[in-house]
């Protein structure tokens, strides 16, 4: 039994795709919607997203791109999104259908001359329902995986007094920051977003790197595409922006820091401790269940940035795994 059909996504299906991801799936987020993915210029990636259906019902969607490597074609989770992977329908989250889905995907990819598949699945932290069946049947069908370590605050296990959850070092540094007359507030003007972007660029210069997003893309998130999802916050010394963050709001569940950056010349004022503490307080006040710092690993999870990890851990964090599956076909 399969009864499953796999076809390539077409632009005309965008509205149904987004409705499925946000309303009918167990693990879809705005990151897998066409509204989000389409902020990329069409020539940046070779989009080869897939739709799995049974009759007239969508079983799953897979936001993906084709990458041409020396040894052949690779289908990989959309590089423009933190999570891609298999986005599964809540109506087909059962053994029979997930067991059928994975071999059908492998068959389709082999028939279309793919040599490898890479699926970066949505973390359980960001999912609406349990995704264990996807994990199990990928394992059962000989997929390998690697894990990245993510850090988050779980308010269910957090004491009411925020600072009492911190390590002695984080409490001390926050108290030092209070002596510097710093101000925390939301960034609202385009000039402030420009200032924040300049800080990110300055931070990345030492790594000979650039931000994932352009300034215009951040402005588009704020003004249009992610108007109710993306927010910007900053720390000011008098009238000068010295640190900031862009956050993504995943419904009322996860308050996720996408960027965190501070002027290197102002680190003696402890702006990052001041920023993170105020963000944690803000997320709790807004009723989120979790505050996410994101991963602290590199090289497919093999390298842990200890300094960064221990800094985050000092805020009383819990731990989550971001898992990526891959298979040579």
Q: What is the DSSP string of 273-306?
A: HHHHHHHHHHHHHTT-SEEEEEE-EETTTTEE-H
The predicted pLDDT at position 83 comes to: 87
Number of domains in the chain: 2
Query: CA nearest 256: which of 120, 122, 87, 77?
Result: 122
pTM for the model: 0.93
216 shares its domain with 84: no
158 shares its domain with 99: no
Give the orientation angle of helix 95-111 with respect to helix 132-140, to 10 degrees: 50
Contact (Cβ atoms closer than 8 angstroms) between residue 177 and residue 271 = yes
115 shares its domain with 251: no
Give CA–CA dist 316/169, Å, rounded: 12
206 shares its domain with 267: yes
Domain boundary, last residue among 75, 110, 142: 142
The predicted pLDDT at position 107 comes to: 97
166 shares its domain with 205: yes
109 shares its domain with 162: no
CATH number, domain containing residue 245: 3.40.630.30
What the block records as the tokens of 276 is 């993170």
Determine whether 11 is exposed, middle or buried from the number of CB atoms within 10 Å of its CB (0-12, 13-18, 19+): exposed
pLDDT tens for each residue of 203-234:
888 777 888 889 999 999 999 999 999 999 99
What the block records as the tokens of 69 is 């490597």
Domain boundary, last residue among 108, 142, 176: 142
The predicted pLDDT at position 44 comes to: 73
121 shares its domain with 259: no
Q: Are strands 144-154 and 114-120 parallel, antiparallel or unpaired?
A: unpaired
Whether residue 259 lies inside any domain: the answer is yes
Domain boundary, last residue among 142, 170, 199: 142
Query: CA nearest 210: which of 261, 244, 150?
Result: 261
| Partners of residue 73 on adjacent β-strands | 68, 114
212 shares its domain with 73: no
The predicted pLDDT at position 97 comes to: 97
Whether residue 327 lies inside any domain: the answer is no
159 shares its domain with 220: yes
Whether residue 36 lies inside any domain: the answer is yes
What the block records as the tokens of 13 is 């299906």
For residue 71, what are the domain limits?
5-142
169 shares its domain with 124: no
DSSP class of 144: E
Whether residue 328 lies inside any domain: the answer is no
9 shares its domain with 131: yes
Which of the residues in the chain have pLDDT under 70? 1-2, 41, 43
Whether residue 79 lies inside any domain: the answer is yes
131 shares its domain with 206: no
Whether residue 147 lies inside any domain: the answer is no
Give CA–CA dist 9/17, Å, rounded: 9
């Amino acid at each position: 039994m399969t009864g499953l059909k796999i076809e390539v996504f077409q632009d005309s299906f965008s509205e149904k795709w987004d409705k499925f991801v946000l309303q009918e799936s167990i693990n879809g987020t705005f990151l897998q919607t066409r509204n989000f993915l389409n902020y990329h210029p069409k020539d940046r990636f070779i989009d080869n997203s897939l739709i799995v259906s049974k009759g007239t019902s969508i079983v799953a969607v897979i936001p993906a791109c084709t990458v041409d490597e020396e040894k052949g074609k690779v289908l990989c989770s959309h590089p423009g999104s933190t999570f891609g992977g298999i986005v599964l329908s809540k109506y087909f989250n059962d053994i029979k259908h997930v067991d059928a889905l994975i071999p059908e995907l492998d068959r389709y990819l082999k028939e279309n001359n793919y040599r490898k598949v890479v699926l970066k699945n949505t973390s359980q932290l960001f999912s609406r329902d349990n995704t264990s069946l996807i994990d199990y049947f990928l394992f059962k069908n000989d997929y390998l995986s690697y894990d990245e370590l993510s850090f988050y605050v779980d308010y269910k296990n957090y004491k009411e007094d925020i600072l009492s959850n911190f390590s002695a070092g984080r409490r001390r540094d926050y108290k030092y920051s209070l002596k510097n007359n710093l101000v925390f507030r939301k960034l609202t003007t385009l000039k402030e977003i420009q200032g924040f972007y300049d800080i990110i660029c300055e931070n990345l210069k030492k790594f000979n790197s650039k931000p994932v997003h352009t300034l215009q893309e951040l402005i588009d998130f704020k003004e249009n595409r992610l108007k109710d999802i993306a927010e910007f916050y900053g720390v000011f010394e008098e009238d000068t922006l010295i640190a900031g963050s862009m956050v993504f709001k995943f419904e009322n569940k996860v308050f996720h820091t996408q960027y965190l950056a501070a002027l290197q010349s102002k680190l003696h004022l402890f702006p990052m401790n001041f920023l993170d503490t105020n963000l944690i307080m803000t997320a709790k006040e807004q009723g989120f269940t979790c505050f996410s710092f994101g991963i602290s690993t590199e090289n497919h999870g093999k390298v842990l940035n200890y300094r960064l990890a221990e800094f985050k851990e000092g805020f009383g964090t819990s731990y989550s795994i971001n898992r990526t599956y891959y298979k040579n076909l």
